[in-house]
């Protein structure tokens, strides 16, 4: 038993040592079939293991729609394990069924059949005679690549149509730049680096087939054209330098404008009569003296025309607030108003005069009522108005005080002050209204302006009240004059009485702020401060006399014994007297204004002065 | 209302008239002058050849696309290709199978062969397109391609006929080609063959035939007008 096993093992071993076991060959495989020009083609196969025995391979093919099997005509032309089909054996547009058979002593093996149509297996040879030249186009170089189709491919007869592709790269680069050239046999390459060495290759392909291999590399060196680039840079530099220089020159020419733009000049002081140089160089005394307006206060009492005009702001209270206090006593109100504290050092430099305000409001009210009335019953009217005015003054004064007490700020009173005035002013002035206004104004200002005698205007001692016209303008005294006179007398009395009443009052505080502007005409020989109502913006000229939009102006007639400044509504009174007597109420204010002009001029001939309420105020104990 | 109707109808009439005029104008520009009359824009033979060759190239490209699509989706295994019988209905038409054969063939013969092929494929392609349209497996893109293919073959045939006409006029070929004007006569007698083929077969057959047509046209062109791109 043991011997049998040993023998078998020996046999096996010897069989193994003798070599591989003989077996039929393994199945070969067709790797590819290719045609270079669509006229011939070659097939290659890969043999399998030969099974230890010499193996032969044979290729058999069968054409389409024919059962005849043919064997490969040429095994050698294309090399080993290949089969070459020449022109006679090649049929285009015919399916070939090709099989490779491996045969050895023990058996044969068939490869898988492969169907091919020669049209679809065309892979041409690479293009030939590739030439690359450097050419110039307007000073810039470019490469011209030209080639020829592979000599085997018959493109001339139209049998094959080839399309070409080339690739370019610099010697030191890795990536190729591909260019498809189509059917043309020439190509230009631009955008070259100066002094670079380029590699060029070309390949081709039939319209339905495979790409050929790349042709052999062609080398080309591009000449240096750096100097041309340099010249461009020089040009650019010069141009930019020129531009820069021009810009600088332009800036230099306009440096003043630029300076103004970037660093705007500090505006200098714009105070009239302010001397900058003096401020810079002068001593403090000089500066302060310079600050003081030279013509103010008026030194002489003779020529008021030289005086600068400043305006006394007189505020008239609103009607509504005044209505509340109709029954109060004027005297009390006046006292109260005077005693109440108020800030007369307001920014505006003017102090409120509540009595004045009230008077103005009342007058405005009256003015409204009188708009449609005629002026024939003037005397009675005037008298009535006077009484009304007295009441109103009382009311106003009281209301003013109340309002002052009530309101915390002055601002409240101002609008009220202004509102009635326009109405008043827009209506044609008539004697009564102006009279009343004048009276009120005088009253209020008198109440306000009362001082212990510091003001130069105070010491006049006049206690009369010339309402309509002053005696200085006799030509304007017309029929209305006696009426005015009478009224004047009345008013004088009233005023004086009022003034006296108020005399024992304590220090009057200019609690009431006035918002009316008064232009002091002059101080006459009787020490009367003549205030001229001034229209805002016109007063200086004296020629234009429009109704003040919200302000009423009066002329200081004098200061009574109690240091009460009596205001005289000279201009207004004249105006109103004249107009109301001679002109109907329907006449336009402009007409009235016009007639008042000569009056104005006449008055203007007098010395102009003004009441600086601020100074008055400061003098008075507030 | 009647005013509106009138205005609308008038507008329609104007539109129709304009369309008609434009159509007339476009039609007027289409025919190529056969007798090289003065003021008539004559296309050169080379130009005509280029056009038909481009047309045939386009046709072949579409057929190639459809064929590969077929192969990809419906015949995944390669073995299946071998089993399909390759009996194209146009195999009765004698076509040169090599360059030498094609070059040896006379121009008239070659032109005839081309026309025969094109005529033979008109109906099968139309039916193929119909089949594709009804077949749910195909997407619209393939169906459109089939239709385009069918139309192109039709156009190509017309183009080749024109080329033949031109060549006859120029005396390049004899007048024997004109007998193909009636395609029905030259069709294979067993016209029912193509119905037996399956779609894949049809496609592969047509792919080959379109390539033949293209190639023959190129050969003709380079033989007759070699100076342009040969």
- Tell me, what's the pLDDT at A510? 43
Give the count of Cβ contacts less than 8 A between chain A and B: 59
Is the peptide bond prior to A478 cis by the omega test (within 30 degrees of 0)? no
Task: Give A98→chain B minimum CA distance, Å.
Answer: 11
pLDDT beyond 80 at A243: yes
- Six-digit token pair at A21? 């076991």
Q: In chain A, what residues touch B212 (CB-CB under 8 Å)?
A: 93
- Six-digit token pair at A283? 């001593």
In A, minimum Cα distance to B103 occurs at: A157
- Tell me, what's the pLDDT at A255? 86
For residue A145, the SS3 value is strand
Cα torsion A97, A98, A103, A107: sign: negative
Supply the DSSP string of A409-473, one letter for each residue.
SGGGHHHHHHTHHHHHHHSPP-HHHHHHHHHHHHHHHHHHH--SS-STTTTT-------S--TT-
Interface test with B, best of A86, A113, A122, A158 (most B CBs within 10 A): A158
A97 — contact with chain B (CB < 8 Å)? yes
HEC states along A166-218? EEEEECCCCCCEEEEEECCCEEEECCCCCCCEEEEEEEEEECCCCCCCCCCCE
Nearest CB to A65: which of B87, B221, B229?
Answer: B87
- Six-digit token pair at A512? 């009431």
> If pLDDT is split at 50, 70 and 90, which confidence band does A211 have?
very high
Between A173 and A287, the more confident residue is A173
Nearest CB to B218: which of A39, A65, A161?
Answer: A161
Contact between A42 and A85 under an 8 Å Cβ cutoff? The reply is yes
Q: In chain A, what residues touch B71 (CB-CB under 8 Å)?
A: none
Q: In chain B, what residues touch A97 (CB-CB under 8 Å)?
A: 82
Residues 6+ apart with CB under 8 A from A217: A199, A200, A201
Contact between B161 and B178 under an 8 Å Cβ cutoff? The reply is no
A158 — contact with chain B (CB < 8 Å)? yes
Average the pLDDT over B108-122 and give the result: 90
Count the residues in chain B. Answer: 230
Contact between A436 and A366 under an 8 Å Cβ cutoff? The reply is yes
HEC states along A474-512? HHHCCCHHHHHHHHHHHHHHHHHHHHHHHCCCCCCCCCC
In this predicted model, what pLDDT tens digit does every residue of A531-544 receive, in sequence order?
555 544 444 444 44
- Tell me, what's the pLDDT at A453? 39
Q: Is A159 in contact with B82 (Cβ distance < 8 A)?
A: no
Least Cα distance to A364 among A441, A425, A446, A445 occurs for: A425
- Tell me, what's the pLDDT at B36? 55
Distance CA A162, CA A183 (A): 6
Nearest CB to A95: which of B86, B98, B218?
Answer: B86
Least Cα distance to B205 among B95, B58, B103 occurs for: B95
A117 — contact with chain B (CB < 8 Å)? yes
Between B69 and A133, the more confident residue is A133
Distance CA A539, CA A87 (A): 128
A183 — contact with chain B (CB < 8 Å)? yes
Interface test with B, best of A41, A63, A65, A92 (most B CBs within 10 A): A92
Strand A128-137 and strand A177-182: the pairing is: unpaired
- Tell me, what's the pLDDT at A270? 74
> If pLDDT is split at 50, 70 and 90, which confidence band does A139 have?
confident
Q: In chain A, what residues touch B97 (CB-CB under 8 Å)?
A: 91-94
- Six-digit token pair at A3? 């011997």
Distance CA B62, CA B150 (A): 10
pLDDT beyond 50 at A59: yes
Between A586 and B203, the more confident residue is B203
Q: What is the ipTM of this complex?
A: 0.76
In this predicted model, what pLDDT tens digit does every residue of B125-180 receive, in sequence order?
888 888 777 765 656 777 888 889 999 999 999 999 989 988 888 888 777 665 45
Q: In chain B, what residues touch A98 (CB-CB under 8 Å)?
A: none
- Tell me, what's the pLDDT at A83? 92
Nearest CB to A157: which of B97, B98, B219?
Answer: B219
- Tell me, what's the pLDDT at B43? 78
Q: In chain A, what residues touch B99 (CB-CB under 8 Å)?
A: 38-39, 92, 154, 157, 159
Task: Give B223→chain A minimum CA distance, Å.
Answer: 7
A506 CB-side CA count, 13 A: 12
| Residues from B in contact with A at Cβ < 8 Å | 57, 60, 64, 81-82, 86-87, 91, 95, 97-100, 102-103, 208, 211-212, 215, 218-223, 226, 229-230
pLDDT beyond 50 at A424: no
Residues 193-212 of A with CB under 8 A from B: 207-208
The label of the residue with tokens 């026309």 reads: B115
Task: Give A91→chain B minimum CA distance, Å.
Answer: 5
Average the pLDDT over A501-526 and give the result: 50
Q: Is A90 in contact with B60 (Cβ distance < 8 A)?
A: no
Tell me the whole-structure pTM to 2 decimals. Answer: 0.51
Q: Is A93 in contact with B208 (Cβ distance < 8 A)?
A: yes
Q: Is A159 in contact with B102 (Cβ distance < 8 A)?
A: yes
CA distances to A194, A291, A472, A597, B7 from A475, in Å: 110, 42, 9, 14, 89
For residue B159, the SS3 value is helix
Least confidently predicted of A343-352, A487-496, A529-538, B146-155? A487-496
Q: In chain A, what residues touch B229 (CB-CB under 8 Å)?
A: 183
Contact between A212 and A205 under an 8 Å Cβ cutoff? The reply is yes
Q: Is B98 in contact with A156 (Cβ distance < 8 A)?
A: no
In B, minimum Cα distance to A88 occurs at: B98
> If pLDDT is split at 50, 70 and 90, which confidence band does A228 have?
low
Q: Is B219 in contact with A113 (Cβ distance < 8 A)?
A: no
> If pLDDT is split at 50, 70 and 90, which confidence band does A216 have?
very high
> If pLDDT is split at 50, 70 and 90, which confidence band does A494 have?
very low
Average the pLDDT over A219-245 and give the result: 85
Q: Is A159 in contact with B91 (Cβ distance < 8 A)?
A: no
In this predicted model, what pLDDT tens digit does every residue of A576-595 receive, in sequence order?
444 334 433 344 444 333 33
- Tell me, what's the pLDDT at A137? 84
Distance CA B215, CA B56 (A): 9
Contact between B165 and B34 under an 8 Å Cβ cutoff? The reply is yes
Q: Is A65 in contact with B230 (Cβ distance < 8 A)?
A: no
In A, minimum Cα distance to B219 occurs at: A158
pLDDT averaged over chain B?
77
Q: What are the boundaries of each domain within chain B? A: 43-224
Between A412 and B208, the more confident residue is B208
Task: Give B163→chain A minimum CA distance, Å.
Answer: 17
For residue A58, the SS3 value is strand
Q: In chain B, what residues touch A207 (CB-CB under 8 Å)?
A: 57
In B, minimum Cα distance to A98 occurs at: B82
- Tell me, what's the pLDDT at A82? 92
A38 — contact with chain B (CB < 8 Å)? yes
Residue percentage of chain A with pLDDT more than 70: 43
Instruction: Please report which helix (H) or strand (E) contains residue B25, including its range.
Output: helix B2-29
Between A154 and A597, the more confident residue is A154
φ/ψ of B6, rounded to 5, equals -65, -45
The distance of Cα A431 from the centroid of its chain, to the nearest Å, equals 57
pLDDT averaged over chain A?
66
Distance CA B222, CA A515 (A): 114
- Highest mean predicted confidence (pLDDT) among A106-115, A611-620, B166-175: A106-115
Distance CA B44, CA B33 (A): 11
- Tell me, what's the pLDDT at A582? 40
Residues 6+ apart with CB under 8 A from A534: A309, A311, A517, A518, A519, A540, A548, A553
Q: Is A65 in contact with B229 (Cβ distance < 8 A)?
A: no
- Tell me, what's the pLDDT at B166? 87
Distance CA A416, CA A324 (A): 14
The label of the residue with tokens 């009304």 reads: A388
Contact between A342 and A511 under an 8 Å Cβ cutoff? The reply is yes
CA distances to A94, B29, B58, B136, B212 from B93, in Å: 14, 36, 23, 34, 12
Q: Is B223 in contact with A158 (Cβ distance < 8 A)?
A: yes
Domain B43-224 CATH (choose: 3.30.1330.10, 3.40.50.150, 3.40.50.300, 1.20.1250.10): 1.20.1250.10
Q: In chain B, what residues touch A121 (CB-CB under 8 Å)?
A: none
Average the pLDDT over A511-516 and give the result: 49
Strands ordered across the beta sheet of A186-189: A128-137, A140-148, A186-189
pLDDT beyond 50 at A141: yes
End-to-end alpha carbon distance in chain A: 155
- Tell me, what's the pLDDT at A533? 57
Nearest CB to B212: which of A93, A115, A156?
Answer: A93
The label of the residue with tokens 């193929």 reads: B128
Task: Give B160→chain A minimum CA distance, Å.
Answer: 17
Residues 6+ apart with CB under 8 A from B36: B42
In this predicted model, what pLDDT tens digit does every residue of A256-311 receive, in sequence order?
888 888 888 788 777 776 666 766 776 777 767 766 666 666 555 555 555 566 66
Count the residues in chain A. Answer: 622
Q: CA A121, A126, A131 angle in degrees (round to 5)?
A: 160
Residues 6+ apart with CB under 8 A from B181: B161
Q: In chain B, what residues touch A159 (CB-CB under 8 Å)?
A: 99, 102, 215, 218-219
Q: In chain A, what residues touch B210 (CB-CB under 8 Å)?
A: none
Q: In chain B, what residues touch A95 (CB-CB under 8 Å)?
A: 86
Distance CA A513, CA A349 (A): 10
In this predicted model, what pLDDT tens digit does every residue of A464-486 receive, in sequence order?
434 333 444 444 444 444 444 44
pLDDT beyond 60 at A46: yes
- Tell me, what's the pLDDT at A520? 55
Q: Is B208 in contact with A117 (Cβ distance < 8 A)?
A: yes
Distance CA B17, CA B200 (A): 48
Distance CA B158, CA B163 (A): 9
Average the pLDDT over A530-559 and give the result: 50
Phi-psi region of B229 (alpha: psi -120 to 50; beta: other; left: phi over 0): left
In B, minimum Cα distance to A91 occurs at: B97
Interface test with A, best of B81, B215, B223, B224 (most A CBs within 10 A): B215
- Tell me, what's the pLDDT at A45? 92
């Amino acid at each position: 038993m043991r011997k049998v096993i040993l023998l078998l093992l020996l046999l096996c071993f010897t069989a193994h040592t003798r070599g591989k076991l003989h077996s039929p060959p393994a199945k070969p495989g067709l790797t590819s079939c290719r045609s270079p020009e669509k006229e011939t083609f070659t097939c290659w196969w890969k043999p399998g293991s030969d099974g230890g025995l010499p193996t032969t391979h044979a290729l058999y093919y069968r054409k389409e729609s024919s059962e005849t099997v043919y064997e490969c005509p040429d095994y050698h032309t294309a090399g080993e394990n290949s089969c070459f089909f020449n022109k006679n054996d090649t049929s285009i547009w015919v399916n070939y069924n090709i099989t490779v058979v491996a045969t050895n002593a023990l058996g044969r093996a068939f490869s898988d059949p492969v169907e091919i149509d020669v049209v679809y297996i065309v892979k041409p040879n690479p293009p030939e005679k590739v030439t690359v030249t450097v050419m110039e186009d307007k000073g810039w170089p470019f490469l011209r690549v030209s080639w020829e189709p592979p000599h085997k491919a018959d493109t001339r007869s139209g049998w094959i149509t080839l399309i070409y592709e080339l690739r370019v790269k610099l010697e030191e680069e890795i990536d190729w730049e591909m260019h498809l050239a189509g059917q043309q046999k020439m190509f230009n390459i631009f955008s070259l680096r100066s002094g670079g060495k380029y590699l060029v290759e070309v390949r081709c392909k039939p319209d339905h087939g495979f790409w050929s291999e790349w042709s052999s590399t062609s080398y080309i060196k591009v000449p240096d054209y750096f100097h041309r680039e340099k010249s461009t840079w020089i040009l650019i530099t010069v141009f930019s330098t020129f531009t820069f220089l021009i810009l600088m020159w332009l800036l230099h020419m306009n440096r003043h404008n630029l300076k103004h733009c970037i660093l705007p000049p500090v505006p200098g002081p714009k105070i009239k009569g302010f001397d900058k140089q003096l401020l810079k160089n002068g001593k403090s005394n000089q500066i302060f003296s310079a600050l003081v307006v030279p013509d103010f206060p008026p030194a002489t009492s003779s020529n008021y025309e030289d005086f600068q005009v400043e305006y006394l702001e007189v505020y008239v209270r609103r009607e509504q607030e005044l209505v509340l206090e109709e029954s109060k006593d004027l005297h009390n109100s006046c006292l109260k108003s005077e005693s109440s504290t108020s800030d007369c050092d307001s920014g505006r430099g003017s102090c409120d005069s509540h009595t004045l305000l009230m008077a103005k409001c009342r007058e405005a009210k009256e003015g409204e009522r009188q708009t449609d009335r005629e002026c024939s019953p003037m005397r009675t009217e005037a008298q009535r108005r006077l009484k009304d005015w007295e009441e109103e003054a009382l009311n106003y004064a009281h209301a003013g005080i109340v309002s002052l007490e009530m309101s915390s700020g002055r601002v409240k009173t101002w609008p009220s002050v202004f509102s009635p005035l326009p109405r008043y002013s827009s209506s044609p002035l008539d004697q009564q209204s102006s009279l009343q206004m004048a009276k009120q104004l005088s009253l209020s200002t008198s109440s306000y302006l009362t001082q212990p005698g510091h003001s130069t205007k105070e010491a006049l001692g006049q206690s009369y009240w010339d309402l309509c016209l002053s005696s200085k303008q006799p030509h304007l005294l017309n029929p209305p004059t006696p009426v005015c006179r009478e009224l004047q007398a009345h008013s004088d009395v009233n005023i004086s009485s009022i003034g006296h009443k108020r005399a024992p009052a304590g220090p009057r505080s200019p609690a009431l702020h006035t918002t009316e502007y008064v232009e002091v005409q002059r101080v006459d020989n009787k020490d009367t401060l003549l205030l001229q109502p001034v229209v805002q913006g016109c007063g200086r000229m004296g020629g234009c006399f429009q109704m003040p939009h919200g302000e009423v102006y009066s002329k200081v007639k004098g200061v009574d014994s109690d240091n009460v400044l009596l205001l005289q509504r000279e201009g207004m009174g004249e105006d109103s007297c004249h107009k109301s007597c001679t002109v109907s109420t329907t006449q336009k204010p402009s007409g009235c204004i016009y007639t008042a002009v000569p009056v104005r001029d006449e008055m203007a001939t007098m010395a102009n002065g003004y009441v600086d309420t601020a100074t008055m105020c400061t003098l008075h104990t507030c | 209302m009647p005013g509106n109707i009138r205005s609308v109808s008038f507008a329609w009439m104007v539109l129709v008239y304009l369309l008609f005029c434009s159509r007339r104008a476009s039609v007027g520009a289409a025919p190529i002058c056969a007798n090289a009359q003065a003021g008539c824009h004559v296309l050169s033979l080379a130009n005509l050849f280029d056009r038909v060759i481009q047309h045939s190239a386009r046709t072949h490209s579409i057929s190639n696309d459809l064929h590969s699509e077929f192969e990809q989706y419906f015949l995944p295994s390669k073995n299946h290709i071998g089993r399909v019988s390759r009996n194209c209905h146009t195999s009765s038409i004698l076509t040169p199978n090599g360059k030498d054969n094609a070059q040896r063939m006379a121009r008239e013969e070659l032109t005839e062969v081309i026309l025969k092929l094109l005529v033979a494929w008109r109906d099968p392609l139309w039916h193929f397109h119909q089949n594709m349209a009804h077949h749910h497996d195909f997407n619209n893109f393939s169906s459109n391609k089939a239709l385009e293919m069918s139309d192109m073959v039709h156009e190509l045939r017309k183009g080749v006929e024109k080329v033949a006409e031109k060549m006859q006029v120029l005396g390049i070929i004899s007048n024997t080609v004109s007998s193909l004007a009636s395609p029905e006569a030259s069709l294979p007698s067993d016209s029912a063959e193509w119905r037996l083929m399956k779609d894949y077969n049809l496609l592969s057959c047509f792919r080959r035939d379109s390539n033949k047509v293209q190639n023959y046209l190129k050969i003709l062109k380079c033989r007759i007008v070699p100076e342009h791109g040969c």
